[in-house]
Structure 1
C-alpha cells in the first residue's frame, strides 16, 4: 500500500478538511522526504518555528522555479517571475532587509488604528446592502469587497481602476500553477503605478502608499521595479489571503455555534478570536524554502540546496503545542500560530489583516442571527497550499438594533 503524502490533500476526502491527513503524516514522522515534491516536508510546530528562525533557509526560489519551466512556459511566465523576484517575500538579507524597510515604518500600530474606522464603515455599508434579504455570499458580498476596498485605499488604486482588484486570486498561486491569466492585469496595474510614481516624483501624490514609503524612498535608492513589486505584494497578501481568512473564519464559526454565543456574550473576545480562527483554518497552508547549508535535524540530514516545505497548517494543529488542537476555542491564547509565517518573513501586514478579521466577524455577528450555510458542503479551490473557498452562501435573520 502506497504511503500517504502531502499531495493527497487533493483527494476528495481530504480537500474538505486536510487536517486529518496532516495528523496521520505527523504521527508517522513529523519530518519526511517527499519524493513526489522533491522536498523535505516539516509538520511539527516546534520544527517549523526553529527552522523558520534559523537563517539556514532561503525564500529566494522564484528564479530557480522559473528556470526549470519549459521554454514556452518560461517566456509566458516571465512578467510574473520578474514581479515576484523583486518582492521582499522572495528575497533574503541583505536585500530582504532593505526591501522590508520600504514599507515597515508605515505599518505602525498608530497607522493600523487610523484604518479601523474605515474598515468599520465599509463592513457596515456592505451589510446594509444585503441585510434585508437575509442571505449573502460571504466572499462575493462581504469579505472580498471589504479587503478590496481597503487595499484600493491603502495602495492608492483610483476608483476608475478598482476593477483591476476584483476576483484577485493571488500571484503566488498563479505563478506556481503556471497560469499566465494574471499577466494582463499586472500590466494594467503597472500603468496605474506609473501614474502614481509620476505624482510622487512631482510631490503631488496623496495616496496612503505614497505617504507610507516617502521617507524611506528619500533615504534610499529603491528602483521603480522594487517599489512596484512590493506595491503588488501589498495587494496580493492584503486582499486574496485576507478575503479567504475571513471566509474560513465565518465557516468555522457557523460550524461551532457555541463559539458564536461566546463572542456575542463577550464582544471583547473578538481580537483574541481572530488569532484562534487563523490558527484553526489558515488560508495559506505551507511555504517552501531552500536550504542554504547542511542542516542536522534529529534523525534527518537536510542537504544544502534541497527544498524544505514548512506545513503551517499542520503546525497550527500540533498537539505538542496546542491542547485539543482540532477544537475551535475563541478563548484560546494562540498568538504563536504560524499563519503569518515566522522569522524574518513574518507578514508585515499581520496587524492590518487581524483588524479586518476582527471587525468583519464582530460586525457580522452583531447584525445577523441564525447564521446557516446555504450549502452543507462548501466547494474549495483544488490546491494543496491555498485554502480558498470558491463561494460561501449563507442565510441569516437580521438582528434588531
Structure 2
C-alpha cells in the first residue's frame, strides 16, 4: 500500500498560504516537477514548459463536467443537474468536433478587429466611473470600478437589455458555484434564460440589433445550434467576460498598490499599458489552474499517467516559473510576457482574451493617469474561499486626484 503524498493544492486553504499561493507553488516546484495529489485525486503540473505542451496535447480532454457531476452524492447530484446541463454545453468543456463547431458560433465576434470597435465605449465607461469617485479621494476598486465596468461591457456585448441588467450584478462565476456545489445562481440562470429566449426569436428572424446578434447572426441558423447551446455559450461569454476580468483588474490594482514604483512608471509611460496588461495577467491571474482528463496513457516529466486520470495544470505556478521568467515574483511592466498561461493555450485558448486585455489596459492606464499616492484602505485582504479563483472580496484604497499637467 502506497503512502499518501502529503503535498496537496488543498493546502492553499490554510491561512499560511491562501493570500500567497505563489510561495506555496515555489515550495511544490522545488520538490516535484509533476506529482500525484491524492487529496485532489489529480496529477499536478507546475512548470511552464510542461503546461504549455500539455495544453496543446489532444490526449487531454476538457470534457470533465459529466465525470464530476456523476461523482457527487445523490442529493447534490440532483441539485447540480441544471447547472451541469448548462456547463457541459459550453465550448470550454467540449472536445472536437463539437468544440470546434461551438467555437465558431462566437469566435468571429471576439476578434481583435471587433474589439477595437468597442474600445471607445470601454474608455467612456472607465472615465464615467472615475468621475464618480475622484472627488471623494477613495474607492473600492472591486465594487466601485472593476465590477461596474465589466458588467456594463458584457451587458453590451451579450445583448442584455437595460431592464435585465440587474441579472448581471454581483456575478459570482458558474464554475466556482458548480465545484462548490452551490445552487445559489440557479434562479438567476432561469431569469437569464427567459431573457435570451425572448430575444432569440428576434435574432433568428434577423430583427435584433444588439452586439451579441451581430456576433452570431451569420452562423445562428447555418450551424445547427440548439437553443441550449446558444444559451450555454451566451453564459460563457458573461462568465469569462465579467467575473474573471473583474478580478484581473482587481489583482492588477493590488499589484500596483504593492509596487508603487511600477505605478509611477505607468503614469510616466502610458504607452506601456498594453504590455503591462500582459504582465498583470502573468503576475496574478484570477484563475489559477485548469483540469483535464487523460484519454489515454501518457508519460509527463517521467511520471506515467494512466488513462482516465485527472491532470491539473497550475497556470499560476507556470506564470511564476523561474526557468521561464527571471525574477518571476517581481512585477515588471516592461517584461515581455505574452506567453503567460492565464488564457491557456491550444484549442481552449480563451476566446475573450482580446476583450479582457483591452479592458485591463484601458482600466489600469486611466486609473493611474487620474490618481496618485495610493494608500491601502485596510490592512487585511479577504479572498474568495477557493484554491483556484483569486477573487478579492474588496480592495478599498485612498488616493489623491492627479491634476492634468498645464503646459505653457
| Superposition TM-score tier, normalisation by shorter sequence | over 0.9
Aligned-partner SS, 2:118? helix
**Is the counterpart of residue 286 in structure 1 residue 289 in structure 2?**
yes
CA shift for structure 1 position 382: 1.3
Aligned match of 1:329: 332
Q: Quote the Cα distance in structure 2 between the aligned partners of 1:203 and 1:2.
A: 57
Aligned match of 2:205: 202
Question: 2:255 pairs with 238, 252, 257, which one?
Answer: 252
Q: Quote the Cα distance in structure 2 between the aligned partners of 1:94 and 1:295.
A: 22
CA shift for structure 1 position 377: 2.2
Q: 1:2 to 1:198 in 2, by over 3 A?
A: closer
Q: Quote the Cα distance in structure 2 between the aligned partners of 1:210 and 1:67.
A: 35
Q: Describe the superposition over 1:107-133 as per-residue Cα deviations: whole angstroms up to 9, x where unpaired.
A: 122211001000000000011111100
Runs of 4+ aligned structure 1 residues displaced above 3 Å come to: 1-4
Aligned-partner SS, 1:381? coil
Q: Quote the Cα distance in structure 2 between the aligned partners of 1:149 and 1:109.
A: 19
Q: Quote the Cα distance in structure 1 between the aligned partners of 2:5 and 2:203.
A: 58
Alignment of 1:183-332 (within 5 A): 183-332=186-335
CA shift for structure 1 position 2: 7.8
Q: Quote the Cα distance in structure 2 between the aligned partners of 1:390 and 1:144.
A: 11
Question: 1:380 pairs with 377, 380, 383, which one?
Answer: 383
Q: CA RMSD in A?
A: 1.1
Q: Describe the superposition over 1:117-173 as per-residue Cα deviations: whole angstroms up to 9, x where unpaired.
A: 000000000111111000000011000000000000000001111110011110000
Question: 2:362 pairs with 338, 359, 363, which one?
Answer: 359
CA shift for structure 1 position 199: 1.1
Aligned-partner SS, 1:361? helix
Given that 2:204 and 2:217 are in contact with CA atoms closer than 8 Å, whether structure 1 keeps it comes out as no
Aligned-partner SS, 2:241? helix
Q: Describe the superposition over 1:58-87 as per-residue Cα deviations: whole angstroms up to 9, x where unpaired.
A: 000001111111111111111100110000
Aligned match of 1:33: 36
Given that 2:298 and 2:305 are in contact with CA atoms closer than 8 Å, whether structure 1 keeps it comes out as yes
Q: Quote the Cα distance in structure 2 between the aligned partners of 1:162 and 1:30.
A: 45
Question: 2:56 pairs with 28, 34, 53, which one?
Answer: 53
In structure 2, the gaps of 5 or more residues are none
**Is the counterpart of residue 179 in structure 1 residue 182 in structure 2?**
yes
Q: Describe the superposition over 1:261-285 as per-residue Cα deviations: whole angstroms up to 9, x where unpaired.
A: 1111111000000000110000000
Aligned match of 1:77: 80
In structure 1, the gaps of 5 or more residues are none
CA shift for structure 1 position 202: 2.6
Question: 2:162 pairs with 147, 159, 167, which one?
Answer: 159
Question: 1:118 pairs with 98, 116, 121, which one?
Answer: 121
Q: Describe the superposition over 1:293-338 as per-residue Cα deviations: whole angstroms up to 9, x where unpaired.
A: 1111232001100000000000000001100101000000000000
Alignment of 1:91-102 (within 5 A): 91-102=94-105
Q: Quote the Cα distance in structure 2 between the aligned partners of 1:3 and 1:90.
A: 30
Given that 2:289 and 2:388 are in contact with CA atoms closer than 8 Å, whether structure 1 keeps it comes out as yes
**Is the counterpart of residue 9 in structure 1 residue 46 in structure 2?**
no
Aligned-partner SS, 2:391? coil
Q: Quote the Cα distance in structure 1 between the aligned partners of 2:61 and 2:42.
A: 14
Aligned-partner SS, 1:289? strand
Q: Quote the Cα distance in structure 1 between the aligned partners of 2:227 and 2:327.
A: 48
Q: 1:384 to 1:138 in 2, by over 3 A?
A: same
TM-score, normalised to structure 1's length?
A: 0.99
Q: Quote the Cα distance in structure 1 between the aligned partners of 2:284 and 2:183.
A: 28
Q: Quote the Cα distance in structure 1 between the aligned partners of 2:388 and 2:103.
A: 24
Aligned match of 1:65: 68
CA shift for structure 1 position 362: 0.6
Q: Quote the Cα distance in structure 1 between the aligned partners of 2:347 and 2:206.
A: 32
